[in-house]
Amino acid sequence: MNQDLIDPWIAQNKEQTIFVQRLVLGLSSEAVHWNPAERAWSIAQCLGHLNQTARAYSQGIDRALAQGVRVHPGSAPFAPGWVGRKVIQYVGPGGTKALKAPGVFRPEPNPATDGVEDFVRWQGWLINRMGAARLLDLNKNKVPSPALPMLRFKLGECFQILVDHTQRHLHQALVVRSHPDFPGPALEGCSA
């Protein structure tokens, strides 16, 4: 029952990992840390934000997996609730409003690394957790929001939030790389 949801999420995470590796291929540290404007994020900050987000959700996801409420033939198919749908829309690639990241998700202003290695590691972690959720009820296992712990997301909502949110910020990183003043080589044939 969950296979139809989880397999596309896993495939998207794998594609996102490959995209990031291609995005930074051949770039200098200066280019990866370059900001197109004073309040805009660099590629490294976009990746740092995604890494911070995965790290912030990690304990809650692991606890939800440990709850282990299994899906059974009478279980309702996964469907985001009203709040979950709104958050998915708000933080996903279709979200048109610029958001200020809550402190728990905020990247370092001057990250020490480009964030790629951590991104690959966190994507692998998330793929592993999604695989572990194949037999679990994506509606009944809950994950607290790291920004507002009294808000609890369904495990399926959490996975969708993370996948869509990553897509949003990888597009943001691509926009940085495509900026006319970007101090690195042009990127050919890559889209987020």
What is the secondary structure of the chain as a DSSP string?
Answer: --HHHHHHHHHHHHHHHHHHHHHHTT--HHHHT--SSTTSPPHHHHHHHHHHHHHHHHHHHHHHHHH--B--TTSPPP---HHHHHHHHHHSTT--S--PPPGGGPPPSS-SS-SHHHHHHHHHHHHHHHHHTTTB-TTTSEEE-SSSTT-EEEHHHHHHHHHHHHHHHHHHHHHHHHSTT-SSPPPPS---
**Where is average pLDDT lowest: 29-33, 74-78, 102-106, 118-122?**
102-106
For 26, residues 6+ apart whose C-beta sits below 8 A from its C-beta are 184, 185
**What is this structure's pTM?**
0.92
Residue that wins the pLDDT comparison between 104 and 127 = 127
pLDDT of amino acid 189 = 62
pLDDT of amino acid 75 = 84
pLDDT above 70: percentage of residues in the chain: 95
Alpha-carbon distance values, 140 to 1, 76, 150, 154, 171 (Å): 14, 10, 16, 6, 32
Residue 26 and residue 185 in contact, taking contact as beta carbons nearer than 8 Å: yes
Q: What is the mean pLDDT of residues 93-107?
A: 75
* Structure tokens belonging to residue 22: 């291609």
pLDDT of amino acid 112 = 76
Residue 128, pLDDT above cutoff 90: yes
Mean pLDDT across the chain: 90
The rounded Cα 54 to chain-centroid distance in angstroms is 7
Q: What is the mean pLDDT of residues 158-177?
A: 95
pLDDT band of 168, cuts 50, 70, 90: very high
Residue that wins the pLDDT comparison between 8 and 75 = 8
Residue 93, pLDDT above cutoff 70: yes
Residue 1, pLDDT above cutoff 90: no
pLDDT of amino acid 109 = 73
* Structure tokens belonging to residue 85: 């749908």
> Class of 3-178 per CATH?
mainly alpha
Q: What is the mean pLDDT of residues 78-101?
A: 86
Q: What is the mean pLDDT of residues 4-20?
A: 95
Residue that wins the pLDDT comparison between 111 and 153 = 153
